[in-house]
């Protein structure tokens, strides 16, 4: 199976992109691929699960259903360290299944995976 890296840069202001990122990551995980979602820039706000629970695409798809599936499947959910710090999100604020990553981590992952950006 392949490795897939989904990079989300958009936050709550763009629920459609956010939901689609997680939807396609879920599809890849269902097919047995190794999946990583890397939250960058305003996507860091989705680590606040109370906020993430309210995110829906116009089609009715909800971000949290996909998020929970990915966590349950063991997908990596990484959060950009400087992006998190700029938004006052610390490692202790991250929900289960998330961990901090850096730009170096992102590039290392990208070198070995198919990359999708949202």
User: Mind listing the pLDDT tens digit of every residue in the chain (118 residues)?
Assistant: 999 999 999 999 999 999 999 999 999 999 999 999 999 999 999 999 999 999 999 999 999 999 999 999 999 999 999 999 999 999 999 999 999 999 999 999 999 999 999 9
DSSP 7-22: EE---TT-HHHHHHHH
CB 33 within 8 A of CB 8: no
Total-model pTM: 0.96
Domains of the chain in start order, with CATH, are 3-117 (3.40.1260.10)
């Amino acid at each position: 199976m392949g490795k897939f890296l989904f990079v989300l840069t958009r936050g709550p202001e763009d629920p459609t992109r956010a939901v689609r990122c997680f939807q396609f990551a879920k599809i890849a995980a269902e097919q047995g691929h190794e999946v990583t979602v890397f939250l960058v820039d305003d996507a860091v706000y989705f680590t606040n699960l109370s906020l993430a629970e309210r995110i829906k695409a116009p089609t009715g798809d909800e971000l949290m259903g996909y998020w929970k599936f990915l966590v349950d499947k063991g997908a990596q959910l990484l959060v950009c360290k400087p992006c998190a710090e700029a938004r006052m999100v610390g490692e202790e604020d991250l929900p289960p299944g998330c961990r901090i990553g850096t730009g170096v981590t992102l590039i290392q992952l990208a070198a070995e995976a198919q990359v999708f950006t949202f």
